[in-house]
Amino acid sequence: MTPERAETLEWLMQRVSAAVLAVCVIVHLAVIVIAVQGGVTSKEIVARVGGSVPWLMFYSVFVIAVALHAPTGLRNILREYTALGRRATHWIMAAVCLAILVMGFRAVIGLYGLGNLGTGA
């Protein structure tokens, strides 16, 4: 792949992941605001969201979007402000992406597992 094509794909990934993140953040915040205004406690929110496959899928998409968006931005910063080459910034981005995926999915799977605590399962 040519460097120009790689840059175009990076640019596209940054924009698409930003659009997905925007939707995810709006949904996440709207649900929290509506739930809190309705008098729902954090314990009740976790009980409702935990164990829910649709919420598991939603937050999985959220994590993947963050894991693609953040490292791409960091790579651009590294390219502009350091003498690191394309290969080095690629590997740093891959490591950051992997770290975000691991931490994010640990949180998502942990939240999903909390849904079974109140049911006696």
* pLDDT for 86: 85
pTM: 0.85
Q: How is residue 20 annotated by DSSP?
A: H
Number of H helices, E strands in the chain: 4, 0
Indicate which CATH number applies to the domain containing 83: 1.20.1300
**Taken in order 95, 100, 102, 103, is the CA torsion positive or negative?**
positive
Mean pLDDT by 10 residues, the chain (121 residues): 87 95 96 88 83 93 96 91 90 95 95 69 45
Give the pLDDT confidence score for residue 32 in this predicted structure: 87
Residue 117 DSSP one-character state:
G
- Give how many domains the chain has, as a whole number: 1
Q: Using an 8 Å Cβ cutoff, are 12 and 68 in contact?
A: no
Structural domain boundaries enclosing 60: 3-119
pLDDT at 68: 94
The pLDDT of residue 91: 93
- Report which DSSP code applies to 82: S
Residue 46's pLDDT is: 83
